Amino acid sequence: MLLVDDLRNALREFARERDWEKFHTPKNLSMALAVEVAELLEHFQWLEGSESLELDAEKLAKVQEEIGDVLIYLVRLSDRLGVDPVYAARQKLEQNKKKYPADVVRGSAKKYHEYGM
Amino acid sequence: MLLVDDLRNALREFARERDWEKFHTPKNLSMALAVEVAELLEHFQWLEGSESLELDAEKLAKVQEEIGDVLIYLVRLSDRLGVDPVYAARQKLEQNKKKYPADVVRGSAKKYHEYGM
Amino acid sequence: MLLVDDLRNALREFARERDWEKFHTPKNLSMALAVEVAELLEHFQWLEGSESLELDAEKLAKVQEEIGDVLIYLVRLSDRLGVDPVYAARQKLEQNKKKYPADVVRGSAKKYHEYGM
Amino acid sequence: MLLVDDLRNALREFARERDWEKFHTPKNLSMALAVEVAELLEHFQWLEGSESLELDAEKLAKVQEEIGDVLIYLVRLSDRLGVDPVYAARQKLEQNKKKYPADVVRGSAKKYHEYGM
C-alpha cells in the first residue's frame, strides 16, 4: 500500500541529497504548488465540464503527472510546516459535515456555489 | 493510520449524500483546487522565506486548514479521473530522481531554479 | 479617459505614502496577483460556461471589484519591473496573429485548446 | 499612446476572425488568466524577494511576455463581462485609500500583511 508518510520521507531524502532544502521554505513551496495546479487547470481550461470527464488516454496520462506534481509539493510543504495533510483533510471534512448537513443541503433550493464545500 | 483511500471514500460519500456529484467535474474541481491553493499563498505572500518557517500557532492552525482543503479537492479530483494521487507522485518522484541525479545536481553551479523539481 | 499610466502613478504614490514599497518585490506582488485571480475564479468555479455570461447585478459588482484588484497588482508588478503592460500585451498579440493565422486556424479541424491563445 | 480600449478592440477582432468567441466564456477566461499568472509565478518561485528585483535582460523579456498574456486575458474577460478594468481598479484604489489611511497605517505597529492592500 502506498502511504503519504513514505512519500514524505522519500521527498525529504530527495531534497537533502541534492542540497535543495534551503529553497524549500513554505513560501517558495506554496508558489511551486500554485504553478503545478495551474498546469492541471491548463488541461481543462477550454473543455466543457462533461468533456473533462472523458479524457483520452494520452491526456489522462499527462493529467496524472500533474496530479503527482501537486501532491509532491503539498506533501513537501506540509512536512516543512510539521502538518499531517491527511489528518488536516479529515478534520476539515468533519467540519464540513456539520456545516452542510446532508438533509438540509439536499432539500434546499439554495445554490451549491453559495455553500462552497 | 490515516489513508488517502479512506479519505477518498469519505469524500465520495459526502458528495453523494448531498447530491453534489453533478458539480464535481474535473474542470470545476481543478478550479476549486486553485482557489484553495491561493488561500494558502495568501498566508505567505508578504512574508520573507525565513518568516514562513516560523509561523505562530494561530497562523499555523489556519494554514493547516487550507492544506486540508487542498488535499480534499486533489483527492476528489483524482477520484473523478480514476487516478491514484499517491501512485502518481511516486512515479513522478522516480522520474525526477533520474532527471536530476544527486551527484550531478549538487556539484553543479547551475541554479536550482533552472532545474525545477 | 482612464489611462494605465495614471493608475500606475496613483499606485506608486499609494505605496510610498504608506511605506509599503519594501513589501512590493516582484516575487510578493506575483503572489498577490495570484491570490486576486483566484478570488475571480471562485465566482465562476461551480457555474456552467453559459451561466458565467449571465451574472446578476450583485455578483457582477463583486466580480468587477476582483478585476480591479487584479489590474492593481498587475500594474504595480509591471511598474516594479519597469515593464509597460499594455505594450507587452500589444507585442504578444502581434506574435499570436502570426502564430495562429485566422484563415488556417478557422479552417482547421484542430481543437482550439491545442492552439491556446 | 497605448490604450486599453484599443487593446480590447483588437482582442475582440482577433477572437472573431478565428471563430474563438464560443470558447471565451468568463469561466474559461478566468482559468486562462490563472494559467498565465502561474507562468509569471514560475519565474519568481525560487528567488529571494531582492533577487526578483534584479532580473537579467533575458529573464525580464520572458517575464514581460507573461505580463502581456495576463493583461490580454484580463482585458478579454472584462470585455465579455462588460466591465472597464481601469475604471474598476480606480474605484478599488479609492476604497483602499479610505480603508487604509496613510497616517494611521504608517504609524501603526500592525503588520502589513494584516492590512492587505
pLDDT of C37 above 60: yes
pLDDT at B51 (0 to 100): 96
pLDDT at A103 (0 to 100): 86
Instruction: Choose among C23, C28, C38: nearest Cβ to B35.
Output: C38
- The pLDDT of B53-75, averaged and rounded, is 98
- Phi then psi for C46, rounded to 5 degrees? -105, 5
The three cell numbers locating residue C113: 485548446
Chain C positions touching B39 (Cβ under 8 A) are 38
Q: Find the length of chain B.
A: 117
Helices (H) and strands (E) in chain D, counts: 6, 0
pLDDT of C107 above 60: no
Are residues B113 and D45, on separate chains, in Cβ contact within 8 Å? yes
pLDDT at B114 (0 to 100): 61
Residue B19, by phi and psi: left (phi above 0), alpha (psi -120 to 50) or beta? left
Residues D107-112: contacts with CB under 8 Å, at least 24 apart: D111/B46, D112/B46, D112/C20, D112/C23
Q: How close B21 gets to chain C, by Cα (Å)? A: 11
- The pLDDT of A35-64, averaged and rounded, is 97
Is the Cβ–Cβ distance between B81 and A63 less than 8 Å?
A: yes
pLDDT of A115 above 60: no
Half-sphere exposure of A113 (CA within 13 A, CB side): 16
pLDDT at B1 (0 to 100): 59
Q: What is the ipTM of this complex?
A: 0.93
The helix/strand/coil state of B83 is coil
Interatomic CA distance for residues B72 and B78, integer angstroms: 10
pLDDT at D65 (0 to 100): 98
- Quick check: D35 contacting B, CB < 8 Å? no
Is the Cβ–Cβ distance between D27 and C47 less than 8 Å?
A: yes
Interatomic CA distance for residues B63 and A82, integer angstroms: 11
Q: Residue A74 is which amino acid?
A: L
Residue whose C-alpha is closest to residue A53's, from B8, C47, B24, C44? B24
- Quick check: D50 contacting B, CB < 8 Å? no
Q: DSSP character for B19?
A: T
Are residues A48 and C46, on separate chains, in Cβ contact within 8 Å? no
Residues D49-58: contacts with CB under 8 Å, at least 24 apart: D49/B48, D49/C25, D49/C27, D49/C28, D50/C25, D51/C27, D52/C25, D52/C26, D52/C27, D52/C30, D53/C25, D53/C26, D53/C80, D55/C26, D55/C81
Percent with pLDDT over 90 in chain C: 85
- Diameter over CA atoms, chain B: 55
Interatomic CA distance for residues C64 and D79, integer angstroms: 11
- Quick check: D61 contacting C, CB < 8 Å? no
- Quick check: D41 contacting C, CB < 8 Å? yes
Mean pLDDT lowest for which of C14-23, C40-49, C100-109?
C100-109
pLDDT at C3 (0 to 100): 86
DSSP C50-78: TGGGS--HHHHHHHHHHHHHHHHHHHHHH
Interatomic CA distance for residues C81 and D43, integer angstroms: 13
Residues A10-20: tens digit of each pLDDT: 999 999 999 99
Q: How far apart are the first and last CA of chain A?
A: 29
Are residues B49 and D48, on separate chains, in Cβ contact within 8 Å? yes
pLDDT at D111 (0 to 100): 56
> Could you tell me how many CB contacts below 8 A there are between chain A and chain B?
213
- The pLDDT of B27-49, averaged and rounded, is 98
Task: Give the pTM.
Answer: 0.94
- Quick check: D105 contacting B, CB < 8 Å? no
